[in-house]
Structure 1
Amino acid sequence: MLGNFSYCNPAKLYFGDQSLDYLNTELPKYGKNVVLIYGGGSIKKNGIYDDVIKILEAQGKNVAEIAGVMPNPTLAKLYEGIEIARKHQADLLLAVGGGSVCDYAKAVSVSVNCEEDPWEKYFVRFEEPSCETLPVGCVLTMVGTGSEMNAGCVITNQETKQKIGHVFADEKIIPRFAILNPRYTMTLPHRQMVAGIYDIFNHICEQYFSGEDDNTSDYISEGLMRSVLHASRIANKNPQDYEARSNLMWTATWALNTLIAKGKSTDWMVHMLGQAVGAYTNATHGMTLAAVSLPYYRHILPYGLPKFKRFAIEVWKVNPEGKTDEEIAEEGLKAMEDWMKELGLAMKISELGATKDMIDGIADATLLLEGGYKVLSRKEVVEILKESL
């Protein structure tokens, strides 16, 4: 490992089918005023809302609610949440939902006591908080983002058609605690489950396809990817398989709590492409990633050939005998494509509502990063997006 780094992750995790009981352990650590944050109301249908409210009431908490957080949280929704949290004089933000709800809670956390516009400060200038932030806790109901154990959040500005993520450096932004009950994920529609699975896998890829040194992080990544492949195939056939869903939930956390990024550069161009597509189509995040991944990876394969060869052999078990490095690497991506189709992922952005006349706008909204094997030009972004159609 060639890099110099520090690592601290203060999130406390409670895992398992009885993990909600530990909300009773965490709530007494915070003040009386809690803002409960959730999405479109599925937690009311499946009973999770009632279970959480019962615990909050038993703990004597004064509860306000921010409901209706959408899969791609908007800036307008962020402004609404800031006002609710301020009016309630919130002591704790409790997110109950998937990654978008957790992301949104973190965005509210860094904005409530900030006098500046949060979009300009955090998502245009990428500054760190200069004000007091609110603690966040999570009860996770969908896996994929790893938002329960990182300091990242993504917000969509519908007026400018920009979907931008900010991973904060301050460890206080990481949720103080997270409750991970795999059974909560079993009520998701199949499409949401597989979108989350691909989100997990791509988070690992974004950190794996970079660097050239012998890095422990890459060995960990390969093990995590193999775990995702194994569990995903079981869950795809039987979504009620607890062991498979629990392994996916745990892998999602470790895929993006920054552990496997240590000591190396990271890519994240699939996310930049996918988020730009998402800003124009409002499509599910994991599906936008799936739709642009293979065109991007095939484009950069010549620049990172040794790693793509290793990926094929170590993750996809491609037999290298009698094959060139290029053939091995391409066979690995073909195996990845077959797996994605097996899950039922979106393979083209046109499936998500993107059209040819959107390409230039999507390209303009795509942030260009330098951590991968190839720094893309705008022309290359357009080519990749056209290939993704």
Structure 2
Amino acid sequence: MLGNLTYSNPTVIHFGKEALSHLPEELLKFGENVTLVYGMQSIKKSGLYDEVLKILKETGKKVSEISGVMPNPTIQKVREGIEITRKNKTDLLLAVGGGSVIDYAKAVAGCTYCEEDPWQKFYLNQEKCTNPVIPVGCVLTVTGTGSEMNDNGTITNHETKMKIGYKFGYEAFPKFAIMNPETTFTVSPYQFAAGTFDILSHILEQYFSGDDDNVSDDLAEGLMRSVIRNALAAKQDLTNYEARSNLMWASTWALNGLIAQGKATDWEVHMMGQAIAAYTDATHGMTLSCISIPYYQFISDFYLPKFVQFAKRVWEVPVEGKTDREVADEGLFRMRKWMETIGVAMNIEECGITAAMIDELAQNTPILNSSYHTMTRDEIKEIYNASLAYNAANKA
């Protein structure tokens, strides 16, 4: 391993068809005031809401609720949640849903006892969270974000057209995560595709790094091959338990910090995707997919050997008689065809962005000091325009 590192992850995972049976033992570790956090109506339609509420009552909990958590949860919704947790003296936030619900719960957990404006302090200033953090637990129903095993809480501010991630620290990691792959069976094909690409994108953004590390890269390549293979199997049958369980497990390990150890990382795709979502509220995974191919095609010029490695090891591109450029391009072509097969957005118009919006969008996109190349505003605009130009001719 390169350099020095410290790695710790406190989340307890209960995985499999019987995972929910472990919820009572986890609840007994916390006080009696539990705030149940969920989205719209999907967990009520599936019956999961009733199951969880029954367990909460059987374990003697006093239950308050925060419902209606939207995709791309807003700072306004966070402030609503803060009022509820303060009023009910919440001992545990139990998030039942996908990444948006879990991210939101962590944001409320970290912001409740902040004495300043949390948007300014945490999201704009990125100051360290030193106030008490309410414990969070989760019952995962949608795969993709990996939020069940990290401390990130990404929040949108529609007034300023900004979507920003913030890491609330060790205490904000979910104390436990209940993960039954069967709960993902009812997710729509569209949401399945978006969540699946989100998994791959997380891995890519930690994989493409100027600091190559054998162990981290080998882990990342194995995870990517698993995502690619199981996504195709699940696409054919969304109730394929083996495929869905492998995707759920890969999603967790894609963003719990493990494969980033010993490496620099490049999260510019997420910055661009989050900028799109701040304007249009488009589905997260689709905001990533629509700009990934033009971004990686552009970035590959700055460190071609890694893209050759990616093509050979992940996409099994034969190299005999080909230049490195041809091998790298073939790898990205195979990735693009896979993306089309699973059904993700390939054009920013599909996420609600028009040509007239690109100048302002590029100005509002955060630029990170990325691994291979730090983008300029003009280059960000170039990537958006390349996505906009994607059409049927690209599918030939």
Is 1:12 equivalent to 2:12 in the alignment?
yes
Is 1:62 equivalent to 2:62 in the alignment?
yes
- Farther off after superposition, 125-134 or 265-274: 125-134
Which residue identity is paired with 1:136?
A: V
User: Per-residue deviation at 1:379?
Assistant: 0.7
| Structure 2, unpaired ranges of 5+ | 389-396
Counterparts of 2:298 and 2:37, CA distance in 1: 40
Residue equivalent to 2:165: 165
Counterparts of 1:344 and 1:373, CA distance in 2: 29
Is 1:302 equivalent to 2:301 in the alignment?
yes
User: Per-residue deviation at 1:356?
Assistant: 1.1
Is 1:364 equivalent to 2:327 in the alignment?
no
**Residues 1-389 of structure 1: pairs in structure 2 closer than 5 A:** 1-168=1-168, 170-389=169-388
User: Per-residue deviation at 1:213?
Assistant: 3.1
Counterparts of 2:229 and 2:157, CA distance in 1: 37
| 8 Å CA contact 2:185, 2:238 repeated in 1 | yes
User: Per-residue deviation at 1:360?
Assistant: 1.7
User: Per-residue deviation at 1:149?
Assistant: 0.2
| 8 Å CA contact 2:227, 2:247 repeated in 1 | yes
Which residue identity is paired with 1:60?
A: G
User: Per-residue deviation at 1:214?
Assistant: 3.7
Provide the secondary structure at the position in 2 that maps to 1:310. helix
User: Per-residue deviation at 1:183?
Assistant: 0.3
Q: Deviations over 1:288-330 (max 9, x none)?
A: 0000100100111110201100000000000011100000000
Counterparts of 1:193 and 1:242, CA distance in 2: 14
User: Per-residue deviation at 1:171?
Assistant: 1.1
Which residue identity is paired with 1:352?
A: C
Provide the secondary structure at the position in 1 that maps to 2:166. strand
User: Per-residue deviation at 1:357?
Assistant: 1.4
| 8 Å CA contact 1:155, 1:163 repeated in 2 | yes
Provide the secondary structure at the position in 2 that maps to 1:29. coil
User: Per-residue deviation at 1:212?
Assistant: 3.7
Counterparts of 1:375 and 1:295, CA distance in 2: 15
| 8 Å CA contact 2:12, 2:175 repeated in 1 | yes
Provide the secondary structure at the position in 1 that maps to 2:68. coil
User: Per-residue deviation at 1:198?
Assistant: 0.2
Provide the secondary structure at the position in 2 that maps to 1:167. coil
Which residue identity is paired with 1:96?
A: V
Which residue identity is paired with 1:4?
A: N
Provide the secondary structure at the position in 2 that maps to 1:275. helix
Counterparts of 2:211 and 2:162, CA distance in 1: 32
Q: Deviations over 1:197-221 (max 9, x none)?
A: 0000000000001124343101100
Which residue identity is paired with 2:69?
A: V
Runs ≥4 residues deviating over 4 A: none
| Structure 1, unpaired ranges of 5+ | none
| 8 Å CA contact 2:213, 2:262 repeated in 1 | no
| 8 Å CA contact 2:156, 2:162 repeated in 1 | yes
| 8 Å CA contact 1:268, 1:372 repeated in 2 | no
Counterparts of 2:166 and 2:257, CA distance in 1: 14
- C-alpha RMSD over aligned residues: 0.8
User: Per-residue deviation at 1:364?
Assistant: 1.8
Counterparts of 1:205 and 1:83, CA distance in 2: 38
Provide the secondary structure at the position in 2 that maps to 1:187. coil
Provide the secondary structure at the position in 1 that maps to 2:70. coil
| 8 Å CA contact 1:75, 1:155 repeated in 2 | yes
Provide the secondary structure at the position in 1 that maps to 2:346. coil
| 8 Å CA contact 1:207, 1:265 repeated in 2 | yes
Which residue identity is paired with 2:338?
A: W
Which residue identity is paired with 1:184?
A: T
User: Per-residue deviation at 1:130?
Assistant: 1.9
Q: Deviations over 1:174-196 (max 9, x none)?
A: 00000000000001011001100
User: Per-residue deviation at 1:162?
Assistant: 0.2
Q: Deviations over 1:18-41 (max 9, x none)?
A: 100100110111001000000011
| 8 Å CA contact 1:215, 1:263 repeated in 2 | no
User: Per-residue deviation at 1:238?
Assistant: 0.6
Q: TM-score, normalised by structure 2?
A: 0.97
Counterparts of 2:214 and 2:159, CA distance in 1: 42
Which residue identity is paired with 2:56?
A: L
Counterparts of 2:171 and 2:348, CA distance in 1: 36
